Structures are given as structure tokens and as C-alpha cells.
Structure 1
Amino acid sequence: MLPAGELVTVKPDDSIRTALERINQKNFLSIPVAEGKRFVGVISKERIYAEYFEKGGDKEEYLDNTKVKDLLRSDIPVLEPIDEIEKAAYTLNLSGVPFIAVINSDGEFEGIITHKVIFKEFAEVIGIHKGKRLSVIAYDIPGQIAKLTEIINRYGGDIISLVVMDPKTKTEVKEIVIRLRTDNYIKIVDAVKNAGFRVQ
């Protein structure tokens, strides 16, 4: 989560000029709208420009007299700080919004979760750039992961992460991606193949 205190935000009564200046200051596409500890919504550069081109008129007057509250989007999904990262990823994927607001049980705005944060977190979870990668195609039957981990353990491998993915094929198989630390990578790969698995 990106904490609320570290975010660039605007208030509902701020002018669109103020919002645009803050958005452009960090080269963002949108920023949260908050009032005190209350989350109100999001204001985006796209919405500001679209509204101006639709209405026309004097640009300076539009920037100074239009308020953030007139253009903000308030239907932003909300999660609690204790919610799981998987729920955040699922919600972001479905909603088509730039971020999810994190609101605590007292209704206070604690921060946001962005697509970038999700990608970074999952990259950390699956151990990208750590150890060696072993990708195995296995039939979707009980005991396959136990069989694989036993082989890795036998050759002194240390599993950093293990992710099971559905490769979306017509057959009942899963792709098991393992990242591991080992000095016996080739031996492990050979043993995995000899155990009947297909190594990608």
C-alpha cells in the first residue's frame, strides 16, 4: 500500500487548475481526492481534458472556476488494510480503475493500491531474479507437488517460491513454476524428468 500521507492529493473544493498542476507535477494520470482523513474519489487528467473539450469556453475560466468535486469519480473500490493482496489484484483487474482506496474500520483513508504495487508485490512473492527457475508440466492429480519437492530436497535444493498455474489447455495439466537455490540444478532437472514430469 502507498500510505495516504505520502500521496499527492487534492480536496473536493480545489480548482481544476490545482488538480492539473499536481497531476502534472509528478507526471501522473490521476490522483486521489481526499478531505482530511476521508477518501472522496479520484480526479484524472483525461476527465479534465474531456470535460473542457466537450464544454468549450475560456480555458482560464474553466481551470479556475471548475471544482474538483464537479469532475471527480467516486465509484472507486475500497479495501481494508487487512485484506489479502490477491483480493486487491482481482478487484483491480475487474474494476478498470487506476487504484483501489484502502479505508480502515473507522472509515479513515489509509492509502492506495495501484497496478504497479501489485506487480511489484507478486514479483517479490514469486522470487523473480532470485535463484534458478524450474517450470514443470504435471498432471492435475494429488501428490505431484510432494513428489517434486521431495526430488528437490533430495539434491539439496532450497525452494524460494512455488506457483501453480493453469496453462489453459484442454488436458488436465498444471504448470508448476519453482524458484530454487541449488548447486545441483542439472541433477534436479534430470531427476524431475526421470520421475515423469515434463520440464519447460
Structure 2
Amino acid sequence: MLVKDFMTRNPITIAPETSFSEALKLMKQNKIKRLIVMKNEKIVGIVTEKDLLYASPSKATTLNIWELHYLLSKLKIEEIMTKDVVTVNENTPIEDAARIMEEKDISGLPVVDDAGRLVGIITQTDIFKVFVEIFGTKREGTIRYTMEMPDKPGELLEVAKRIYEAGGNIISIATLFEEGKDSYLATLRVENIDHEKFVKSLDEIDVKLLYYHSN
């Protein structure tokens, strides 16, 4: 799964000289939380809803409403935007985009093609939707098993065999490793399985069923 499969195409952009009021209006009208700033078809900045909030005068200000409106109408996006913009290529794996967001502590990434042209934007919301799809949480009639597995070759295959023998079909698999441990957690979502037969078969291998949940 690549970024281009989940990004929003043709994102709304603004110019550096766009006013604070215009940017805020665009966000509200389009129900978005960030705008990419473009100049001569190049990305020069990004501004978020939070940036606009912090740029607004404090409620404790002594300015009257007319003075506030005047100040905000003169404030340009280039004065508050983030200029060092982190981007991602459209062919980047979706999990790498998620890692970049986590490492950089950012909630959205402009997406560019191989020529550096803006083609979309990927956000935390998009990543969350991918997470939901990967785990098959919308699929009814499934059972979610979480097991502690010894960290050695073949154990996951043994579990898969027993799922097959119990008539089950694996919808998703996720693993979680912790450095220094000789075991890891595996979560599998399965459909059409004989639950009792599967659970009983786990006694034959070195796997510990921690919990399960029916959807």
C-alpha cells in the first residue's frame, strides 16, 4: 500500500500573500485543517488551523473588535506559515509516511511526484483509515485472536495451519516485537472458524492465547 492509494488528490493551496482571514475562511468552508502554500508552482510553506489559532490575538487584549479585524486582515500567511516543509513521494509505503509523521511530530504531509510537483496530501486521518482497513474491523462475523508467540521461525505458520484445519480464513495479521524479548505478540482476525477446535489445537504448540474477541 502506497501513499498515492490513500492521499487526497488536488489539495487546496494558497499563496504566501493570502490573508489570515482568507485562509481561515477556506479551512472552514472546506472542513480542512491545513493549507499548502505555493509560489511559482513550488511548495514554500504549510499552515495549519493551530497556526492560525496561535496567531490570533489573546482574549485578554484591550483591542476592540474593529481593531482586531483590521490587524487580522493585514496579517499574511507568509508571516505565520511553516517554511521548512516535510514532503513525501507518492510511491512511499504508507507505513513510512506514518513513521515520518510520528518522528517529525506533524499531522500532514504534502505529497509530490518524482518531478517534485504537488499531487496530494496525506494526513493522520488518512493513516487512521488505513489502520482500520488493514485490521478488517468493519468486517462482521470475525474473531480477533491475540497470542504470545515464541520468537523463532515457523511458529506463525503453525498457527496458520491450525486456523486452516479449523475451517478459518485469515483476514489480517499484525505483530508487535519488543527489543530484548524472546517472544512477540501476534494479532489475527479470522472468519468462518470453528473456535473451540482452534483453541484446543493450540495446546499442541508453544503458543499462548492471551484473549479473543468476536465482531
Range into which the TM-score falls when normalised by the shorter chain? 0.7 to 0.9
- 2:46 equivalent among 31, 42, 48: 42
Could you tell me the percent identity over the aligned residues?
21
Q: What residue number does 1:68 align with?
A: 77
Q: Deviating runs (4+, > 6 A) in structure 1? A: none
CA contact (8 A) 1:30 1:98 kept: no
- 2:206 equivalent among 183, 196, 200: 196
Question: 1:16 deviation in Å?
Answer: 1.1
- 1:3 equivalent among 8, 30, 35: 8
- 1:151 equivalent among 162, 173, 177: 162
- 1:30 equivalent among 34, 45, 49: 34
- 1:101 equivalent among 102, 110, 128: 110
Amino acid at match of 1:123: V
Which digits, 9 at most, give the CA deviation of each residue in 1:14-51, with x for residues without a partner? 11110111223345443222347433321123323433
TM-score, normalising length: structure 2: 0.81
Alignment partner of 2:106: what SS? Answer: coil
Q: What residue number does 1:83 align with?
A: 92
Q: What residue number does 1:141 align with?
A: 152
Bigger shift: 109-118 or 35-44? 35-44
Q: Measure, in 2, the Cα distance between the counterparts of 1:80 and 1:16.
A: 29
Alignment partner of 1:174: what SS? Answer: strand
Which digits, 9 at most, give the CA deviation of each residue in 1:152-180, with x for residues without a partner? 112221111111112x4864111111111
Change over 3 Å in CA distance of 1:182–1:36 after alignment to 2 = farther
Runs of 5+ consecutive residues of structure 2 not aligned to the other structure:
1-5, 211-215
Which digits, 9 at most, give the CA deviation of each residue in 1:72-126, with x for residues without a partner? 1122321111110111010011111220111111221111111111111122112
Q: What residue number does 1:110 align with?
A: 119
Q: Measure, in 2, the Cα distance between the counterparts of 1:33 and 1:26.
A: 16
Amino acid at match of 1:118: I
CA contact (8 A) 1:11 1:33 kept: yes
Q: Measure, in 2, the Cα distance between the counterparts of 1:155 and 1:50.
A: 57
TM-score, normalising length: structure 1: 0.86
Runs of 5+ consecutive residues of structure 1 not aligned to the other structure:
none
CA contact (8 A) 2:20 2:52 kept: yes
Bigger shift: 99-108 or 69-78? 69-78
Which has the higher relative contact order, 1 or 2, with Cα contacts under 8 A spaced 6 or more apart? 2
Amino acid at match of 2:50: E
Amino acid at match of 2:156: I
Q: Measure, in 2, the Cα distance between the counterparts of 1:186 and 1:31.
A: 53
CA contact (8 A) 1:41 1:72 kept: yes
Q: Measure, in 2, the Cα distance between the counterparts of 1:120 and 1:12.
A: 31
